[in-house]
Structure 1
Amino acid sequence: MTGTTPRVIVIPPKPELARSRTVQRQLRVAAYCRVSTDDEEQLTSYEAQQTYYTDKIMTNPQWTMAGIFADEGITGTSAAKRPEFLRMIRKCRQKKIDLVLVKSISRFARNTVDCLNYIRVLRALGIAVIFEKENINTLESDSEMLITMMGAFAQAESESMSANIVWGKRQAMREGKANVQYQHLYAYELDESGNPRIIPEQAAVVRQIYDRFIAGHSVRMIKKTLEQQGVPTAKGGDVWSESVIRSILKNEKYCGDVLMQKTYTQDCISKKQIRNVGQLPMYLMRDHHEGIISRDRFNQAQAEFARRNAGRAPTRKLAPTGRSCYSAKYALTERLVCGECGTLYRRCVWVKRGQKFAVWRCASRIDYGTKYCHDSPTLREASLQAAILAAINSVMSQREALVGQIEESMRMELIPFPSGTVSLSDIDRQLEELDGEFQALFAESKDGGFMQHAEEFKRISDDMAALKEQKASLLERQNSDSAANGRIKSALDILSTGSGAFTEWSETLVRQLVDTVKVLSADRIRVCLRGGIEIEQTLGEGELQ
């Protein structure tokens, strides 16, 4: 066996069989098309693209249809917002597509990074993308450099278009052209002429929300109240969202104003919305439409938001006041103060001999023992509430003699404008004069004399900037004054309309009348009413040492 020559059988080739298999294996070709807007003309273009690619694929005997994927009126800068494009990529990964036809790189993606990433993914799968306008096949070696350049041009074109659109919108804001979506604004609707109209039933709900919030109720409490009353939401549901109530309280449109550019888009690629906290100018249009609440009422709500947020902290121990957030359940939570360390008191429930009773203790004593606060007393809630009511009733019994004192405290609390300060109308008039001076100077300098008037241009620009800053300061101070005036007025109304002595504890009453309650000792407290009136009151029996 070892000495014999091995016998080899030669199997002849069969090229006709290989050719038949090649003919049978057609390429599964898909096409992707996209239009930039949903206008009627663009949709016609979209239909034309579909017809073109269907004819092109079906008339080629070596190709078979794998699908037409088309996105209508969708942005090309983000693949996440193009469902048909993502569906095509999924089919490619499932090995159901061999070739993709696209009219141009800008139709495939206007984001250079996305364009290259998806092309590389398809290339790794052995799938070619053919861009007809640029005559590029992505499986060729030199295609990536060309695609990078063309993709960058497409992205630059998109950025240029976005910049033009943004400029146009901001110019419209400067000219006072507001685009308010009243159909999505609770308590408003559009009439037959397209003008905004108030819905009376929903407007009453908006006023109720503002009244309860300013009275001290939390957003969660307002939500619970609306649901208990069976008040329907904007869509007719019976479950209210806290975010919706909060947006109603913070939306200036309910007082008839429109504030534009509260947010802005970071760039046309990510399309991330950024809150405008001073990066860009904002444009306020007063009395743009009929308001549901007064501007003073709206300012009171914003002042209440600021007051509640003032004591926020990541944790209760890090809070300087002993609380980490606003609490609306008990009025004394943010009013009862330790006379020794200045920390707020906290409500606790004790159990003694099988009976539960509420007490108030210094938050510093609860968290740190006697390390910072040594002698603060613990007070029973019943005796504390009785003493505070007694202090309020002592004021109610002599309300006529105290009216002058409360009005004087109101003038002391409101921040008056400094003497000699110009009014808002004076500032507006000066701005108009400076603008006219600027336009006249600009017309004289059209023939090349800009450099000669550079100092005058700078002076006018600096004067206008200073006036605008002064105007913003006056508006902010005016809003603050109206909010303080509203809070004191509500307290005066209660004092004026109340009849007789208060015999039952009311959280709403305490929020309206009482500013702070300082614990002086185990049997002595000082009640400070809104407006600056202070009453020292002795606690009855029942306090704990």
Structure 2
Amino acid sequence: MARKSKYEERSTRPRARLWKPALYVRLSREDGDREESDSIVSQRELLTEFAAAREDMVDPRLYTDDGCTGTDFDRPAFQRMLEELRAGKIDCVIVKDLSRFGRNYVGVGEYLERVFPMLNVRFISVNDQVDSFLDPRSMNNLVVPFKNIINDEYCRDISNKVRASLDLKRRQGKFIGSFASYGYRKAPDDHSRLLIDEPAAAVVRDIFDWFAGGMSVLGIAKRLNAAGVPNPAAYKRAQGMNYRHPAAEKLDGLWPDSSVRRILKNRLYTGTMVQGKNRIKSYKLHISEAVPEEEWIAVEKTHEAIIPSDLFERVQSLFERDTRTAPAKKEVYLFSGFLRCADCGRAMNRKQISQPYGDYHYYICSTFKKQHSGACTKHTIRSDRLEQAVLETLRHQIALAVEMDELIATINQSGARNRSVKHLVDERVQLETERSRIEQMKLSLYPDWKAGDISRDEYHRLKEQFEQRQAKLDARIISIQARIDEVQNGVDETNSFLSQFAKYRNLQKLTREAVVELIDMIYVHEGGSITIRFKFSDAYAAAKDYIQDHGQTA
């Protein structure tokens, strides 16, 4: 064989390629990498030494994603690296191991098998001994996809464990949010426990009181802004918290009506911890979705309440009504959401008539107003006359509550309650004795049938009769026990009817607050008469029965 010349040897020898490497470093605080406290430092040192030891690599660039999950590739440094790969500024990617590149099996495979080859990018995983240029077969080895699957499964497992742990804390009533809701602060010694933040809590109380008193949501927001009260986001930043919210940045500390509405609907202020309202779709798809209300995790009495439960419920009931705001005013109409036509059941519309001697308002059935087709009649009533009629009726009901309250106090102070309890206990014992006797008779039926003393049909007929008598006795015993509990506890100041009505005993002018708290609905009849359905009807009946049962013996 002829020997090659020096010229031929030089012309066939491959020139050494110089690579411009990207040293990619990632550390996640969500996928279980917390134990590697110095992971960023160790990865950087490992990759820097690796690139420095290679003569075919120049000008390495470092890309660091600290605190970014590997389940997706929406990471700042990774995306910047990708842009520079496409621009040709770098042409080699070096990572410590495949898990640092990513933990998404499909995504990692897409980059290693399609994107990088298309861009002529060299990929090196140091610890996995993968090099797409020096050892292309290492990329096609089954070990690579297998490790990617393991990395993906590891992240899924960690995600499930974290989610289960958080759900457990939610069910235990522990707060797991980053920032406490406005009005509260985290306890210094236990960040899962909430304490009242009094300056903000005072604002929360005002918001609930104003709304229950007739002020609109928008009116409350305007009042807070006029007083210079910072909105929740601005307040948190003023307290030194690193709180950021995209929408809040544009408000410059002002209250939007949405913030007021959100506070009014937050059950947290009653001492009930409500969490789990949103969830992440999956550990790979980091998109939050709303959770149906019936799946929320609510635990009562986990922290001190800012708002009483009855006030919160009144506020929620107002949201369910048609509460329209008076034009150019911050308050809703006095009867908004509380007026109905007595015949068709539709809401009454408020109208204004201007006369030379002044303006006056009246209400008219909305069905008649819209259709004029005989579907209903006007049912019209003047606003001032309606207000006076409601006020007089309320005063009468309040006077009745005060009188009943005094009667019940007299009964409770006398010996009538004790005598009544003894009578009820004796009656219950008699009923229980009778039930036991019937039970024994029922049990003796089967032996009588087997002995031939009674027929099969007689056995079933008598058994059914005994069971029916037992059911009636059981119902009576339960009723008697309920009466005993009621008498022993008394019907005193804790009775909702008495306490709610009695506190308005000095009512001189009808207010929105009194309407909201005491009235369920007002029905307007044709001709201008009204029917008022009050709240606490069950409590009123209980108080009335109590007086009737024990008043004679007092």
After TM superposition, the score normalised by the length of structure 1 is 0.63
The answer for the alignment partner of 1:493 in structure 2 is 503
**Any residues of structure 2 matched to 1:42-191 within 5 Å, and which?**
42-80=36-74, 82-119=75-112, 120-137=114-131, 140=136, 143=139, 146=142, 147-172=144-169, 176=172, 178-179=174-175, 184-189=180-185
CA distance in 2, matches of 1:520, 1:145: 86
The answer for the alignment partner of 1:336 in structure 2 is 339
Equivalent pairs: percent with the same residue?
23
Residue 264 of structure 1: CA displacement? 4.5
User: Residues 36 and 72 of structure 1 are in contact (CA less than 8 Å); yes or no, is this contact kept in structure 2?
Assistant: yes
Secondary structure at the counterpart of residue 186 of structure 1: coil
Gaps of 5+ in 2: 1-6, 239-251, 325-329, 408-423, 425-493, 539-554
* Counterpart selection for 1:204 from 202, 205, 209: 202
CA distance in 1, matches of 2:405, 2:340: 23
Relative to structure 1, is the Cα distance of residues 214 and 332 closer, same or farther in structure 2, using a 3 angstrom cutoff?
Answer: closer
Secondary structure at the counterpart of residue 525 of structure 2: strand
CA distance in 2, matches of 1:398, 1:185: 40
Q: What amino acid sits opposite 1:201 in the alignment? A: P
Relative to structure 1, is the Cα distance of residues 94 and 492 closer, same or farther in structure 2, using a 3 angstrom cutoff?
Answer: farther
* Counterpart selection for 2:219 from 218, 221, 230: 221
CA distance in 1, matches of 2:400, 2:119: 90
User: Residues 29 and 68 of structure 2 are in contact (CA less than 8 Å); yes or no, is this contact kept in structure 1?
Assistant: yes
Q: What amino acid sits opposite 1:184 in the alignment? A: A
Secondary structure at the counterpart of residue 346 of structure 2: coil
CA distance in 1, matches of 2:378, 2:349: 12
User: Residues 66 and 96 of structure 1 are in contact (CA less than 8 Å); yes or no, is this contact kept in structure 2?
Assistant: no
User: Residues 25 and 44 of structure 2 are in contact (CA less than 8 Å); yes or no, is this contact kept in structure 1?
Assistant: yes
CA distance in 2, matches of 1:43, 1:402: 68
Q: What amino acid sits opposite 1:188 in the alignment? A: Y
**Any residues of structure 2 matched to 1:354-393 within 5 Å, and which?**
360-367=363-370, 369-371=371-373, 373-377=375-379, 383-393=382-392
* Counterpart selection for 1:33 from 17, 21, 25: 25
Secondary structure at the counterpart of residue 91 of structure 1: helix
Secondary structure at the counterpart of residue 36 of structure 2: helix
User: Residues 225 and 255 of structure 2 are in contact (CA less than 8 Å); yes or no, is this contact kept in structure 1?
Assistant: yes
User: Between Structure 1 and Structure 2, how many residues are aligned?
Assistant: 417
1:511 aligned to 2:525?
Answer: no
Residue 154 of structure 1: CA displacement? 1.2
Relative to structure 1, is the Cα distance of residues 252 and 246 closer, same or farther in structure 2, using a 3 angstrom cutoff?
Answer: same
Q: What amino acid sits opposite 2:220 in the alignment? A: I
Give deviations 1:224-264, integer Å, cap 9, x for gaps.
23223333343347422444444444445434443455554
Q: What amino acid sits opposite 2:153 in the alignment? A: A
Residue 110 of structure 1: CA displacement? 1.1
Considering only aligned residues, what root-mean-square deviation do their CA atoms show, in Å? 4.5
User: Residues 221 and 257 of structure 2 are in contact (CA less than 8 Å); yes or no, is this contact kept in structure 1?
Assistant: yes
Residue 30 of structure 1: CA displacement? 0.8
User: Residues 173 and 260 of structure 1 are in contact (CA less than 8 Å); yes or no, is this contact kept in structure 2?
Assistant: yes
Residue 344 of structure 1: CA displacement? 0.8
Gaps of 5+ in 1: 1-12, 317-326, 409-418, 420-483, 534-545
User: Residues 29 and 100 of structure 1 are in contact (CA less than 8 Å); yes or no, is this contact kept in structure 2?
Assistant: yes
Residue 160 of structure 1: CA displacement? 1.3
Q: What amino acid sits opposite 2:284 in the alignment? A: I
Residue 143 of structure 1: CA displacement? 4.1
Secondary structure at the counterpart of residue 47 of structure 1: helix
User: Residues 351 and 364 of structure 2 are in contact (CA less than 8 Å); yes or no, is this contact kept in structure 1?
Assistant: yes
Relative to structure 1, is the Cα distance of residues 66 and 284 closer, same or farther in structure 2, using a 3 angstrom cutoff?
Answer: same
Relative to structure 1, is the Cα distance of residues 70 and 208 closer, same or farther in structure 2, using a 3 angstrom cutoff?
Answer: same
Q: What amino acid sits opposite 1:85 in the alignment? A: F
User: Residues 397 and 501 of structure 2 are in contact (CA less than 8 Å); yes or no, is this contact kept in structure 1?
Assistant: no
